[in-house]
Amino acid sequence: MARKKKKRIRHVRFFIGLCLAAIFFFIFIFIVFVRPHLTRPGFEIYVPSGYAVHGIDVSRYQQKINWAAVKKMDSGGERIWFVFIKATEGVNNVDPWFEENWEGTKEQGIARGAYHYFIAGRDPVQQANNFIENVSLGPGDLPPVLDIEKAGRLPVTRIQNDAKTWLDTIEKYYGTVPVIYTNISFYEKYFSTGFEKYPLWIAHYKEAYRPRIDKDWAIWQHNETGKVDGIKAPVDFNVFNGDSVAFKNFLINR
């Protein structure tokens, strides 16, 4: 009887040991080969793996920025390739740090882009003109961006028509197709049909591999609490959906 009991104990221990070994094996495989995201000590966030081109976006909330420090920073082999800068809002507001940020990124050779924060219910042509009057785009810059996240109490058709008016006005002036920035729920409600030609910059946090959206996307804003040398406040982090060649082709080239 004692012998059988010891045998059972050995079998149980062997089974437990086998299970633990299997668990550690799968953890090892997951970390080494899958790696849904990598910790970047300098950025102090998880950065999705599998993306070569990383960037940030800034506005007045980041206040004064040392762009030389941003350019120089390297965290685990990753650096900042591009920056989207808030330029305008509504029909007459201009971000107080836009001009300084716009020139600072150019001086450091960082690919730069400008975005307009859209106010629902305000005249879309006046909003487009506000952007045009304050933003000069040229070769090597990113396409202009419509940041639209709130609809107020306006119906879907009104938001769609006003957004299309802004996009058409901007495309006609700059000669390049603008980008739409928004979150998944807003995009699916307002822009899932009829806006296919516009590159999508989608905001979706705490996802390991990619944003959970069926639409093809160009840029993914995956975190809003990143740290970057030369910037005191937290910043939004983004990845471009493509390699360095695709990114170069994404820039304005004329």
Distance of CA 71 to the CA centre of its chain: 18
Is 171 catalytic? The answer is no
> Do 39 and 29 fall within a single domain?
no
pLDDT computed for residue 37 by the predictor: 47
Pairing status of strand 54-58 against strand 179-183: unpaired
pLDDT confidence band for 7 (50 / 70 / 90): low
Predicted model pTM = 0.84
> Do 91 and 10 fall within a single domain?
no
Q: Active site residue: 44, 123, 149, 168, which one?
A: 149
Which residue has 């993914």 as its token pair?
Answer: 220
Percent of the chain exceeding pLDDT 90 equals 75
> Do 159 and 63 fall within a single domain?
yes
Torsion sign over Cα 245, 34, 207, 56: negative
pLDDT at 30 over 50: no
pLDDT computed for residue 46 by the predictor: 86
* 210 in Cβ contact with 203 (< 8 Å): no
CATH, residue 237: 3.20.20.80
Is 74 catalytic? The answer is no
> Do 75 and 162 fall within a single domain?
yes
Structure tokens at 21: 């070994």
> Do 7 and 118 fall within a single domain?
no
What number of other Cβ atoms are within 10 A of residue 243's Cβ? Answer: 11
> Do 116 and 58 fall within a single domain?
yes
Q: What is the DSSP letter of 249?
A: H
* 131 in Cβ contact with 116 (< 8 Å): yes
pLDDT computed for residue 77 by the predictor: 85
> Do 98 and 224 fall within a single domain?
yes
Among 211, 218, 212, CA closest to 196 = 218
> Do 97 and 46 fall within a single domain?
yes
pLDDT computed for residue 78 by the predictor: 87
Q: DSSP E strands: which ranges in the chain?
A: 37-40, 45-48, 54-58, 80-89, 93-94, 111-117, 145-147, 179-183, 200-203, 219-228, 231-240
Average pLDDT of the residues in 203-229: 93
Q: How many residues does the chain have?
A: 254
> Do 121 and 239 fall within a single domain?
yes
Residue span of the structural domain in which 160 resides: 35-250
Pairing status of strand 80-89 against strand 93-94: antiparallel
Phi, psi of 88 (to 5 degrees): -140, 165
> Do 21 and 73 fall within a single domain?
no
Least confident of 26-40, 61-75, 142-156, 218-232: 26-40
The total number of structural domains in the chain stands at 2
pLDDT confidence band for 16 (50 / 70 / 90): confident
Q: Active site residue: 57, 89, 95, 141, which one?
A: 57
pLDDT confidence band for 143 (50 / 70 / 90): very high
DSSP string, 70-114: HHH--BTTB-EEEEEEEEEETTTEE-TTHHHHHHHHHHTT-EEEE
pLDDT confidence band for 14 (50 / 70 / 90): low
> Do 160 and 106 fall within a single domain?
yes
Among 224, 115, 136, 222, CA closest to 178 = 115
pLDDT computed for residue 11 by the predictor: 61
Average pLDDT of the residues in 131-148: 98
Which residue has 């975190």 as its token pair?
Answer: 223
* 111 in Cβ contact with 141 (< 8 Å): yes
Structure tokens at 147: 């940041």
Angle between helices 156-174 and 124-134 (to 10 degrees): 30
> Do 133 and 173 fall within a single domain?
yes
Structure tokens at 72: 């120089």
Percent of the chain exceeding pLDDT 70 equals 84
- Per-residue model confidence as pLDDT tens digits over 97-133: 999 999 999 999 999 999 999 999 999 999 999 999 9
Residue 221 burial (CB < 10 Å; 0-12/13-18/19+)? buried
